[in-house]
Chain A
Amino acid sequence: EIVLTQSPGTLSLSPGERATLSCRASQSVSSSYLAWYQQKPGQAPRLLIYGASSRATGIPDRFSGSGSGTDFTLTISRLEPEDFAVYYCQQYGSSPRLTFGGGTKVEIK
């Protein structure tokens, strides 16, 4: 089973700033099969990125994903008020045992 470790646990930033979130895998993620999700309090997660760098339908271009192998990054170029939330990475494409990272909370500084 691939273990995903997200860092930092919490990121304190101001609106307009750049956010850089990390997701590290315990072994190489096949063909960059990594997704990112956003979850706001009391809501279901929402798909942001799949295939490490492809934005899902309707996702603003301030969200971008990058990385390969064991190191992946989600970048929010300029934080909007609605971007303060928890973000999760998820790997797929290696086995049927799908795993999520522990999450990074982006909070208002």
Chain B
Amino acid sequence: QVQLVESGGGLVKPGGSLRLSCAASGFTFSDYYMSWIRQAPGKGLEWVSYISSSGSTIYYADSVKGRFTISRDNAKNSLYLQMNSLRAEDTAVYYCARVVIVVDPTRGGYFDYWGQGTLVTVSS
């Protein structure tokens, strides 16, 4: 069965950095686009970024562009999110999710499997 397991969350000071990981299993990881989505405490869902199956195509939300970097290692069945210049408003549970592309990659897709999430807290 499809499994996505995030790790790497924790407490970090404003301006600091953190790297999240997502270990995938139960499907051919290299065949799928993958994404990060976050949820601030008590709030709704916010899409962060997605990456193509090969890693060559990447999109970011405006709120994280220039600060966050998504990447993947298909040999390790792993997805990553490098987060730099962190702000208090980045505090959230970060989910990795598998993306189903319906039209073409420039138009995104929906998320058919989600991990359980990892909490990132940005506070001094």
Contacts and interface: CB of A to CB of B under 8 A. Distances in A.
Contact of A93 (B95, B107, B112, B113): B107
Contacts of A95: 106-108
B119 to A, nearest CB: 11
A96 to B, nearest CB: 4
Contacts of B103: 30-31, 33, 93
B61 A97 contact: yes
Contacts of A96: 50, 59, 105-108
- The majority secondary structure among interface residues of chain A is loop
Contacts of B50: 96, 98
Interface residues of A, number: 27
Nearest to B48: A98
Nearest to B6: A44
Best-buried of B46, B103, B108, B117 by chain A (most CB within 10 Å): B108
Interface stretch (A11-19, A75-83, A99-107): A99-107
Nearest to A49: B110
Contacts of A103: 44-45
B14 to A, nearest CB: 26
Contact of A98 (B47, B112, B116, B117): B47
B81 to A, nearest CB: 16
A100 B45 contact: yes
B115 interface: yes
A18 B111 CA distance: 26
Given A47-B113, A96-B105, 20 more contacts: A31-B103, A44-B95, A44-B116, A44-B117, A46-B114, A47-B110, A47-B112, A90-B45, A90-B110, A93-B107, A93-B108, A93-B109, A95-B108, A96-B107, A97-B62, A98-B47, A98-B50, A98-B108, A99-B47, A103-B45
